Amino acid sequence: QLIPATLIEGDGIGPEITASVVEILAKLGAPFSWDRQAGGLGAIEQFGAPLPQPTLDSIRKTGLALKGPLTTPVGAGFKSVNVTMRQEFGLYANLRPTRTVVPGGRFDKIDLVVVRENIEGLYAAMEHYLPEGDDPKGLAYGAGFNSRRECARIVRFAFDYAVANGRKKVTLVHKANILKILSGIFLEEGRRIAREYEGKVAVEERIVDACAMQLVTDPWQYDVIVTTNLFGDILSDLTAGLVGGLGMAPGANIGPNAAIFEAVHGSAPDIAGKGIANPLALLMAASMMLAHVGRQDLATRIDTAIDRVIRIDGVRTRDLGGETGTAELTQALLAALG
Ligand code: NAI
Ligand code: MG
């Protein structure tokens, strides 16, 4: 039984890394039938928009997408592709797992997940200038909002994820000591939802600045972190940095009707077309996608192959300090799948 899924190659290194991942998924027998759609710069040339209607229609139909990185044209007046997708499909949860794959770094055996609320908070971009003194733009004013309903929904998502993935603890990360209402509502709802999972998943609370420090001094204490939009954006990049950077960081944007899986990094125009891009972040995103459709067995086979190639064979792409190219790494992964 094939599962229809939208595939967006993307810009820059996108075509190279998606080709690698699609080849590995085919060898694995992953049950996806790809609907290839345009996105990014290529789509602007063809359709006049970075996320054209046929692509949106495809995702609406399949509810499932693997997306390569898209170059955001600067100053061309297009709305950010990621923001468009979040709004269009109500992708309220951003899921960012972090796992040590490359041994010998400063942080071995890290295995944690950041769940970020993706729609509300301070990224609602309700901001404008106000006059101050003689300067009509002397003051920047910004506001944010967190709804009780959305706070409850994202915390519930985090706890359900913990239960489904055998994780033991959820940490509510906030700044309710200062933002008593804006962040306080998240903490209130978090505590309320946590009670429903008593005895199944433990709950902890951390103030965001303390959490940032502990993520560097003792990241092993964390399991699942759930937090609001701005804090989650920053902390999830911090955690990617713990384990080898952008080339190793997958992410998913998930809503009630659609889920979009991608690498966290961009289109890396500086190395595009050179055959040296690291496809592992996108491959890990594909692994998350398999788990999402209930094929944890195939996801585990991908994760095991990655571990084998990186830990045992010692293969390293340029971003990991090695010399191996995309094609050679792909061959090693195909061999490791058995
Ligand atoms: P970037 O992530 O593309 O590159 C940053 C640095 O990391 C570069 O030196 C690049 O060579 C390296 N790098 C990134 N991914 C790599 C990989 N898989 N293998 C090896 N090296 C890798 O970030 P940058 O340069 O800020 O953005 C480039 C373009 O990508 C921009 O147009 C930006 O808007 C877009 N972008 C798109 C994202 C998406 O579609 N999800 C996310 C971030 C940026
Ligand atoms: Mg970010």
Per-residue pLDDT of the chain (338 residues; tens, 9 = 90+): 899 999 999 999 999 999 999 999 999 999 999 999 999 998 998 898 899 999 999 999 999 999 999 988 877 777 788 888 888 999 999 999 999 999 888 899 999 999 999 999 988 778 999 999 999 999 999 999 999 999 999 999 999 999 999 999 999 999 999 999 999 999 999 999 999 999 999 999 999 999 999 999 999 999 999 999 999 999 999 999 999 888 899 999 999 999 999 999 999 999 999 999 999 999 999 999 999 999 999 999 999 999 999 999 999 999 999 999 999 999 999 999 98
**pLDDT (0 to 100) of residue 42:** 85
Mutate which of 265, 280, 320, 329 for ligand 1? The one with the most ligand atoms within 8 Å of its CB, which is 265
Domain end, chosen from 193, 219, 242, is at: 242
**pLDDT (0 to 100) of residue 233:** 95
- Using the mean position of ligand 2's atoms as its centre, give its distance from the Cα of residue 227 in Å: 14
What is each CA distance from 128 to 125, 139, 144, in whole angstroms?
A: 9, 8, 12
Nearest-angstrom CA–CA distance, 151 and 230: 14
- Using the mean position of ligand 1's atoms as its centre, give its distance from the Cα of residue 266 in Å: 3
What DSSP letter does each residue of 4-20 carry, written as one string?
EEEEE--STTHHHHHHH
* Inter-residue contact 93 to 228 (CB < 8 Å): no
Q: Is ligand 1 within 6 A of the CB of residue 268?
A: yes
**pLDDT (0 to 100) of residue 124:** 76
The pLDDT tens digits of the residues spanning 207-216 come to 999 999 999 9
> If you search the block for the tokens 């940095």, which residue do you land on?
241
The ligand minimizing its distance to the Cα of 325 is 1
The dihedral of CA 144, 146, 150, 155: what is its sign?
Answer: positive
Same domain for 202 and 224?
yes
Q: Is ligand 1 within 6 A of the CB of residue 251?
A: no
Q: Specify the pTM.
A: 0.95
Taking the CA of residue 70 as reference, the ligand 1 atom at the shortest distance is 40
323: containing domain: 1-92+249-338
**pLDDT (0 to 100) of residue 5:** 98
Tell me the three state secondary structure of residue 244: coil
CA atoms within 13 A of residue 270's CA, in its CB half-sphere: 4
- Using the mean position of ligand 2's atoms as its centre, give its distance from the Cα of residue 197 in Å: 30
Same domain for 44 and 87?
yes
Give how many domains the chain has, as a whole number: 2
- Using the mean position of ligand 2's atoms as its centre, give its distance from the Cα of residue 191 in Å: 26
Tell me the three state secondary structure of residue 313: coil
4 bridge partner residues: 33
Which residues are part of the catalytic machinery?
123, 175, 209, 233
Same domain for 124 and 39?
no
**pLDDT (0 to 100) of residue 247:** 87
Same domain for 202 and 255?
no
Same domain for 135 and 221?
yes
Helices (H) and strands (E) in the chain, counts: 11, 12
Domain end, chosen from 196, 222, 242, is at: 242
